[in-house]
A and B are shown apart, each in its own frame.
Chain A
Amino acid sequence: MSILRTTPKRPSVSGRNPFVYRPTASPQAAAEWTRRQIAMTNLRTVVGRAYPRVTGLFREKSWVFFEILLPFLSTSAFVFVYRALQAPPQYIGFVVLGGAMTAFWLNVIWMMAQQLWWEKSQGNLELYFAAPMHIMAVLFGMAFGGFVMSSTRAAAVLIIATAVYGVTFSVDQWALLIGVFLLTLAALYGLGMLLASLFLMWGREAWHLTQLLVEPVYFVSGLNFPIARLGVLGSVAISILPLAVGLDAMRQLAFAGAAYPIGTPSPLVEAAILVVMVVVFLVLSRWALAVLERRARQEGRLSVRWQ
C-alpha cells in the first residue's frame, strides 16, 4: 500500500482545497493570478503592513508622553526664543506649524527611510521579497501606518500649542491649504520610499545619514523662520525638499496677510512643485527598488545582516 493512499484526505472549507485560493487543475494554473487577485493581495499587504504601526499606538501607552508631550515642549522652547526676542506673534505661529510638521519628517526618516535596512537586519526583508506581493505595497503600508502615527502627534502639537500660546491663524483659501498639506505628505512619504531603497544600499551608513537629515534639514527648510531669509540656499531647498516647499506654502496660506519676508513662489506655484515632487519621488522609488532588488539578488545581499 503506498503512502499516498494511507495519507488522510485534506480537510476542505466550503468544498474547496484550503491550501490554494481557488480549485485549479495544476500548480502552473494556481500560479496564474487574475488582476483582481493581485490587486487584493497588494491591498491586504498595505493593510497588513500598516496594522502594527496603528495597533502599536494602543499597545504601548508611553508613546503619549514621549511622542506627544515632549515634542510639544521642544516646540515650546523655540516659542520662548521668539518671546525672549519680542518677535511679532506670527513668528510664534510659524514655530507651531513647523513643530507639527516635524512629526511627519521624523517619521519619514526614522520609520520609512531606515525601515528596509532595519527589516534586513531583523531578517524580514527576504520574506518580503519571497512573498507574492509587490514591495511597493509594503512601502505604502509603512507610509500609511506612519502617517496615522504622526498625525496624532502633529495634531496634538498644533492644538495644544495653538491654545497655550494663543496662535491666531488667518486662512483665506482653505481648499488650497488642505490640498497643499496633503500634497506635502504625499511628497514626504514618496521621498521616504525613495530613501528606503537608497538607505538599504548604503547599509550601516544609513543610521548616521538619519542623524544628518534632522537638524540640517530643519535649517535649510526654514522650520522656525521664513525660508526666504536663506536666499539661494532657501531656493534650492524649495526645489528639492518637500518639507521646505510645503511648509512655506502652508505658512503663506495659514497666515495670510502677515508681515514677514516672503520672496518665495506663491502657494499655487509651490503646490505645483509638490505635485512634480510626488510624481518624481514615486517613480524614482519604484525604479530604485527594482534596481536594488536586482543587485541584491545578483550579489546575494538580501539576507546579509548588520552591514
Chain B
Amino acid sequence: MTAPTAAVSADHEGLGSPRWGGFDPARTRGRGWTDLRRSFAVATRLGWQMEANWTDPLLFFIYSVAKPVASALILVVMLDVISGGAKPEYRAFVVVGSALWAFVLSGVSGLAWTILDDRERYRMLKYVYVSPSEFLAVLLGRGVARVGVGAVGAAITLAVGVVILGVPFDPGRIDWPLLAVVLVLGLVAVLAIGLLLASVCLQTRQESWSYPEAAGGALFLVSGVVFPLAVLPGPVQVLSLVTPLTWWIEGIRRALFPGGITAIGGQGAIFTQLTGAAGPTPAQIVVALLATGAVATLAAAAAFRASDRRAKDRGLLDQTTGS
C-alpha cells in the first residue's frame, strides 16, 4: 500500500516539506514576473466580471455610454446657448475634451473604488492583501477593467460627436504615431493618478466613493478639457502645465484634429508668453507628457507605499465604516 504522504513529497511541486525535512526559502520567492503577470491577468478578468456580469450587454452599453454622452451634451448646449452654434471648431474642442474625460474618470476612480469595494462592501481586502499575489498588481488589474469600460464610453462619445453633433472629422488626417505614443503615456499617467487616489481611499472611510469624482472635477478645471487655459489666472496655468493630463488631452486633440484649437497656447497663455509659439509642437507634447507623467508615477508609487505602511500600522485594511 502506498503511503498517502507520497502525494506531497518534495519531488513534486506540492505543499510538503523538502525530503530532508528543513525549510526551503526558495519556495517563498515565487516565480517573479510569471506570478506578477498571472495576478494582473486574473485581477483584470475579475474586475471585468464584476463590472459586467450582472446585466445584459445592451443595458451595460447604455450605462457605459450615457454618462460621457450626457457630459458632452451639457457643454454643447452651454456653447449653443451663448454662441448660437456660431463656433463649430469650439464644439469639436469640447466634445473631444469631454469624451476623453470619461476615460480619465474611469481610470482614476477604478483603482480607488477597488479599495473601497473590497474593503467595505465585499470585505475581502485583507484576504487579497495576505495572498501571494502582489497587491499593486491586483489593484492595477482591477483598475484596468474599468479603464476598458471608460475607453468604450469615450470612443462612442466621439462617434456621437462626429455623427450627430457634426464635429468635423477626417480619418485621413489622423497623426497615428502621435496618437499611439500619447495614448500609452497617458494611460500610465491616468493609472498613476488613480493609484494616488487609491492611497487616499486606503486611509479614509466609506464615504470616499465620491472622492475620485471630486478630484476629477478639480483636475477638469486645470487640464484644459473644455476651455483654453488662457482664461485661467497665471498661477493656475502653471499648475496646468505640470499636470500630465493637460498634455495628454492636447496630444490626442492634435493627433485626431490637426489644426484645431489648442488648449495650451494662444493669446494670454503662459505657454505662448514663455515660448513665443502659438501652441506646442507634437514633440514638445510628447516630451512634456513623458516628464510630467514620470513625476506623477513616482509620486503615486511613493504615496502608495506610505499609505500601505500606515494602513498596516493602524489596522485600516479591514476597516469598515458606515454613516
The chain A residues found within 8 Å of chain B, CB to CB, are 52-53, 56, 60, 62-63, 66-67, 69-71, 73-74, 76-78, 80-87, 91, 106, 110-111, 118, 121-122, 124, 145, 204-205, 208-209, 211-212, 214-216, 218-219, 223-226, 229-230, 261, 306
Contact = CB atoms under 8 A, between A and B. Distances in A.
B33 interface: no
Given A81-B227, A122-B320, A218-B74, A306 B121 contact: yes
B202 to A, nearest CB: 12
A106 B255 CA distance: 36
B322 A122 contact: yes
Interface of B: 54-55, 59-60, 62-63, 66-68, 70-71, 73-75, 77-83, 87, 90, 94, 121-122, 200, 203-205, 207-211, 214-218, 220-221, 225-228, 231-232, 320, 322-323
Contacts of A66: 208, 210-211, 214-215
Nearest to B75: A81
A80 B217 CA distance: 13
14 contacts: A52-B322, A60-B204, A60-B205, A63-B207, A66-B208, A69-B218, A70-B217, A73-B221, A78-B78, A80-B221, A80-B227, A208-B60, A218-B70, A219-B70
Contacts of B77: 219, 225, 229-230
B70 to A, nearest CB: 4
B217 A74 contact: yes
Contacts of B225: 77
A63 B210 CA distance: 10
B82 A87 contact: yes
Contacts of B214: 66-67, 70-71, 74
The listed residue with most A CB atoms (<10 A of its CB), out of B215, B216, B225, is B215
A122 B74 CA distance: 36
A122 to B, nearest CB: 6
Q: Give 10 nearest A-B pairs by CB, closest first.
A: A74-B217, A70-B214, A84-B227, A215-B70, A73-B218, A216-B70, A77-B221, A219-B70, A85-B82, A52-B323
Nearest to A62: B204
B54 A204 contact: yes
B20 to A, nearest CB: 46
B227 A91 contact: no
Of the listed residues B62, B122, B218, the one surrounded by the most CB atoms of chain A closer than 10 A to its CB is B218
B220 A212 contact: no
B interface, over-half SS? helix
A82 B82 contact: yes
Contacts of A124: 322
Given A106-B210, A212-B67, A81 B220 contact: no
Contact of B221 (A74, A91, A204, A306): A74
A121 B217 contact: no
A81 B67 CA distance: 19
Nearest to B211: A66
Given A214-B67, A215-B70, A306-B121, A71 B217 contact: yes
Contacts of A215: 66-68, 70-71, 74
A85 B225 CA distance: 14
A63 B321 CA distance: 15
B238 to A, nearest CB: 16
A10 to B, nearest CB: 33
A91 B82 contact: yes
Contact of A205 (B55, B68, B70, B80): B55
Given A85-B83, A219-B74, 14 more contacts: A56-B323, A60-B205, A66-B208, A70-B214, A73-B220, A77-B221, A83-B231, A84-B227, A87-B81, A205-B55, A215-B66, A216-B70, A218-B70, A229-B81
